[in-house]
């Protein structure tokens, strides 16, 4: 059974996962092409952050950033290493899609890296019906980034 907790930044496991995520993405992204948020960035009022738990163990996390009333952006989707390659990425993406539907979001977008490190993320989003798109919101064309979007219906 999957349990979702909103916020939960003070939890040691959540904090450790987010710090690892931040450090790793900064290390594999080109200067000027890093769009990962640190913990303080995820606490912004335009963002709803979720940690997801299976059998009382942290499985992963993800966030929805509200770009406007009907457009949201995925941020900081990350799976705990021991839960990778078991379909859990799709569980987190689907959880975020369902949360977006509850909030009447009609379009979800995301930015991910274009390099080899990000191949699993791009594959996950394509498998979850996201399609590549032009840069959205504040993003600009960048050879180091891939932009994707999904229209959702409530």
The per-residue DSSP string of 5-59 comes to EE--TTSHHHHHHHHHHHHHHHHHS-TT------HHHHTSTTEEEEEEEETTEEE
Q: What 8-state DSSP symbol labels residue 83?
A: G
pLDDT (0 to 100) of residue 101 = 96
Q: Please state, in angstroms and rounded to a whole number, the distance separating the CA atoms of residues 33 and 116.
A: 15
Average pLDDT over the chain reads 91
Least confident of 4-13, 72-81, 104-113: 4-13
- The answer to whether the beta carbons of residues 80 and 93 sit under 8 Å apart is no
pLDDT tops 90 at residue 77 = yes
pLDDT (0 to 100) of residue 128 = 96
Q: Please state, in angstroms and rounded to a whole number, the distance separating the CA atoms of residues 4 and 100.
A: 14
List all residues 6 or more positions away from 132 whose beta carbon is below 8 Å from its beta carbon: 146, 147, 148
Q: Please state, in angstroms and rounded to a whole number, the distance separating the CA atoms of residues 87 and 78.
A: 13
Q: What is the tens place of the pLDDT at every residue in 26-75? A: 777 777 667 777 888 899 999 999 999 999 999 999 999 999 999 999 99
Q: What is the tens place of the pLDDT at every residue in 98-124? A: 999 999 999 999 999 998 999 999 999
pLDDT (0 to 100) of residue 28 = 73
Q: What is the CATH number of domain 2-151?
A: 3.40.630.30
pLDDT (0 to 100) of residue 90 = 95
pLDDT (0 to 100) of residue 33 = 66
Give the torsion through C-alpha atoms of 30, 33, 35, 38, to 10 deg. Answer: 40
Confidence of residue 154 (pLDDT cuts 50, 70, 90): low
Q: Where are the domains of the chain?
A: 2-151
Higher pLDDT among residues 11 and 34, named by residue: 11
- Pairing relation of β-strands 71-79 and 107-113? parallel
């Amino acid at each position: 059974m999957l349990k979702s907790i909103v916020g939960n930044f003070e939890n040691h496991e959540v904090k450790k996962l987010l710090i690892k995520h931040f450090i790793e993405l900064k290390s594999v992204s080109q200067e000027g092409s890093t769009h990962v948020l640190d913990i303080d960035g995820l606490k912004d009022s335009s963002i709803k952050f979720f940690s997801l738990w299976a059998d009382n163990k942290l499985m992963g996390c993800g966030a929805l950033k509200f770009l406007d009333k009907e457009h949201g952006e995925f941020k900081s989707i990350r799976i705990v290493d021991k839960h990778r390659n078991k379909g859990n990425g799709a569980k987190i993406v689907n959880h975020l899609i369902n949360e977006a539907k509850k909030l009447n979001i009609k379009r979800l977008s995301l930015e991910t890296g274009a390099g080899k490190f990000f191949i699993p993320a791009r594959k996950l989003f394509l498998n979850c019906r996201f399609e590549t798109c032009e840069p959205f919101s504040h993003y600009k064309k960048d050879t180091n980034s891939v932009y994707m979007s999904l229209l959702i219906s409530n």
